[in-house]
Structure 1
């Protein structure tokens, strides 16, 4: 029986991953940056310009959103440590997306390298 870690390892063997050191170029080249974490994780801090589509909804959202339907889009995916992004990248590749990249190490590696994150602020109520 396979574990989640087995599935992630198999996905990583078949996808394109970019290390944090090369992430700036990948961000510049991306047509869309997708954070596949859950909404609460995204709101706690995310990469500037990223949209949030949780892993469980990814294939459905891309199938039903005209802006994301083109298989020629240059897509950069990330999650917390890169497992969900790897599985997502494999899935999108199987759907026919031609240019899918996953951020190795996820946002944890991004933050550890000193890269900035966006944290939405809530209005103050006095």
Structure 2
């Protein structure tokens, strides 16, 4: 599984580069703040909503600490998606939130 640090994700977001960030936390967790531009797809719904994702794009998966996003990465990789797990999750995120 590919991994990326929160600092590397923050650089991508700050550059304004098109980052496809999927936050797999529950809706109430995301309401407390998420990475700007991140799309919320709770882990339990990833299998049912993967049709919304494009296999030609790269996705960065995020959760609270890195565990759930890691599981989402494993599942999506097995389905042919290009995904990277943000290590440490939002607990390690020091950038802006929305």
- Normalising by structure 2, we get a TM-score of 0.88
Structure in which a larger fraction of residues adopt helix: 1
| Higher RCO (C-alpha 8 Å, min separation 6) | 2
Which residues of structure 2 form unaligned runs of 5+? Answer: none
- Normalising by structure 1, we get a TM-score of 0.70
How many Å separate the matches in 1 of 2:43 and 2:78?
A: 15
- Confirm whether residue 59 of structure 1 aligns to residue 47 of structure 2: yes
Which residue of the other structure, out of 98, 102, 117, is the alignment partner of 2:85?
Answer: 102
Aligned residues, how many? 95
The match for 1:21 is 7
Aligned-residue Cα RMSD (Å) equals 1.4
Which residues of structure 1 form unaligned runs of 5+? Answer: 1-14, 119-126
Which residue of the other structure, out of 92, 95, 98, is the alignment partner of 1:115?
Answer: 95
Q: Which runs of 4+ in 1 moved over 6 A?
A: none
Residues 36-75 of structure 1 mapped to structure 2, 5 A cutoff: 36-63=24-51, 65=52, 68=53, 70-75=54-59
